[in-house]
Structure 1
């Protein structure tokens, strides 16, 4: 919490800032290094842009040698603007339009097709454009679901990918399209245990081996094992490290680290979530029999999942005084309420904190992924100032929105008030 204290003292967390988000970029760099050292050197680690689309953060990750995983047209452009080489951008949208695929082909992106019809579309476009697609096929291994159903994508039914039991159609696609060179699998995000991740990847790895046996060694040249490693949101959480994950994969998938296939990963939450905190001023403290409610300036606008599904999305919290010193005293029960006009707007319920008063600062930890990127426009609240701290120096990663910015947003980018 020393960084928040410094940001206040040095004027980075200004009087007009009702809240800020602070990224520890050194911590993010260390997590990138832990990931890259755990996997073979030639692995392409494509950071999931959806987890944290802040351009300065993406630019730093590009400079560190990562690739980017884009799930929309906008994320493609964010990745390009951040400096990711096009050949290290993976395009994974489940609803790719013809024009989006034209762009992907022209840029040389690696496209993970979500269904067999998309392969037909890619083949037609490639012939029309005189280009050979770089593409893989997403497979649903039907390995099961984790404890969070909404973020598990490898159950018996999933909106994503081609079910593994459709093996004959998959084999036919590899026979029909000589340019089809990869397989893609993703099990889920948060809530999936190591055993489930390894089982799902292993099932698709076996498919790759079968395809190589049928069509010749190296037929599957790219093996994209997705992301899915969880972050620790509770003190008791013990998520597997990248090293532990790869060691488990090596046991299940012999030869995984050989030169026969290029590995691709698509981690986001595991890398970025632990590297940021949100700090909001307490505007009011309301007391009712059995309840103490601290009203803050961040709610379901930033913490969408946390407010709608608090059972699965907890956050650790701390309480600072107005000048950034951690408050002392016996912890008492608080409900941390956001500023939005609906009754479920509680980013954290039942937080045990020292007695809060107006002007204090609530710090919510582990907000570096799937928070700002899921920002809601309900009530047209201003997105807060986002700071970065790197080698002891602060920078502004994104400036606080002003009311005129919100007016322009609702007008649309091509119009003016």
Structure 2
């Protein structure tokens, strides 16, 4: 059991806490699920990009799924080998593409015809052929929140099958493009197996058609992994998930790439907050904490639910909204949570906060981003210090002084 009270006293609140051993256990579970075939598990850095967190993956010879050149460089700094890194995203800039080619990562995931042509032009200028995969949109409903659905034709991601085939044939003839992979990703927080199985079957058939046309496809990228249980969701069994994909690949000699993020770090992280006050209106009870939407955006952005932990009290529980200090009505971390009467200084911990917590945090209202700590082998490690006001404004202050001279 993590001693949140001790950590809060030592590192202050709000505070992110990660169970580093659990992160490695979750990663190993993916490796084991696909152990019967050639596979590469590429952790999605967007879920949590702290270098020490990513290093847990590097220690297990994992790869990285990145959506900016900054994430690519973070992965390499954390110890992940460039040949295990893929670079995805719909809006790669010229400098990002150039730097990715210089770093010699495994491949770039292409998301439009114009991007394909831009990569080709940059590769030609550099006289360095680019390994690529194309993100194919299977147009299958993933049955998840619309903001994290990515595989429908209405979403900005990927290209439809006919467009993808034209792109592959063009790349196959190009001197500076090497199409070696096929990629699809239908969404995040997936809790139903059928859309995954349907997508794998559809894209596997498409892959067979490419190979029949002479393309050397070596990687079959199935996108992100499974969802986690925030409230009452039924979580897909990892074995069943892997088998649904393997069943689609009969006769295909390809390396499977899987890009889990949330299911690696989500359940491994906690946001620790401290109660400041209680406030009552005619209709509502509010528990005001020192954590806010700038620390954990998911509830405000997705109306997401995080279970709350609080020190047991022998008192009746009744409903309250847990809110932060930010000047927005949307600044809440939980609605209608059942809590005892809370006193100033009491702790409230939000569970399953390891994914899309700190990585989506900001300095809104000039609030300092909180510290991150890790727990491993019963030892506590400071992973990132709490920001200081002086550091946050240093660049602005330097420029202000220069501009006023």
TM-score w.r.t. the length of structure 1 is: 0.90
Alignment match, 1:318? 309
2:20 aligned to 20, 25, 28, which one?
25
Question: Is 1:263 the equivalent of 2:256?
Answer: yes
Matched position secondary structure for 2:182 = strand
Question: Is 1:13 the equivalent of 2:8?
Answer: yes
Task: From the superposition, tell whether residues 247 and 340 of structure 1 become closer, same or farther in structure 2 (CA, over 3 Å).
Answer: same
Question: Is 1:309 the equivalent of 2:302?
Answer: yes
Alignment match, 2:93? 97
1:133 aligned to 130, 133, 138, which one?
130
**Aligned residues of 2:295 and 2:370 also touching (Cα < 8 A):** no
1:233 Cα shift? Answer: 0.3
Q: Aligned partners of 2:154 and 2:341: how far apart in 1?
A: 47
Question: Is 1:275 the equivalent of 2:252?
Answer: no
2:385 aligned to 392, 396, 399, which one?
399
**Aligned residues of 1:47 and 1:267 also touching (Cα < 8 A):** yes
Alignment match, 1:213? 212
Task: From the superposition, tell whether residues 315 and 140 of structure 1 become closer, same or farther in structure 2 (CA, over 3 Å).
Answer: same
Matched position secondary structure for 1:215 = coil
Alignment match, 2:278? 285
TM-score w.r.t. the length of structure 2 is: 0.92
Alignment match, 2:243? 247
2:112 aligned to 97, 115, 122, which one?
115
1:346 aligned to 306, 314, 332, which one?
332
Alignment match, 1:225? 222
Q: Aligned partners of 1:238 and 1:391: how far apart in 2?
A: 30
Task: From the superposition, tell whether residues 379 and 99 of structure 1 become closer, same or farther in structure 2 (CA, over 3 Å).
Answer: same
**Aligned residues of 1:223 and 1:264 also touching (Cα < 8 A):** yes
Question: Is 1:196 the equivalent of 2:182?
Answer: no
Cα offsets for 1:328-364 (capped at 9, x unmatched): 4332111101110111111100001222121110010
Q: Aligned partners of 2:42 and 2:348: how far apart in 1?
A: 33
1:166-185 → structure 2 map (5 Å cutoff): 166=163, 168-177=165-174, 179-185=178-184
**Aligned residues of 2:69 and 2:99 also touching (Cα < 8 A):** no
1:272 Cα shift? Answer: 0.6
* Larger CA deviation: 272-281 vs 108-117: 108-117
**Aligned residues of 2:69 and 2:100 also touching (Cα < 8 A):** no
Q: Aligned partners of 2:193 and 2:295: how far apart in 1?
A: 28
Q: Aligned partners of 1:243 and 1:410: how far apart in 2?
A: 51
After TM superposition, what 4+ stretches of structure 1 lie above 6 angstroms from structure 2? 412-417
**Aligned residues of 1:142 and 1:164 also touching (Cα < 8 A):** no
Q: Aligned partners of 2:39 and 2:307: how far apart in 1?
A: 33
Alignment match, 1:61? 57
CA RMSD of aligned residues (A): 2.3
| Stretches of structure 2 lacking an aligned partner (at least 5 in a row) | none
| Stretches of structure 1 lacking an aligned partner (at least 5 in a row) | 321-325
Question: Is 1:37 the equivalent of 2:28?
Answer: no
Task: From the superposition, tell whether residues 101 and 167 of structure 1 become closer, same or farther in structure 2 (CA, over 3 Å).
Answer: closer
Q: Aligned partners of 1:57 and 1:168: how far apart in 2?
A: 38
1:238 aligned to 217, 227, 234, which one?
234
Task: From the superposition, tell whether residues 294 and 139 of structure 1 become closer, same or farther in structure 2 (CA, over 3 Å).
Answer: same
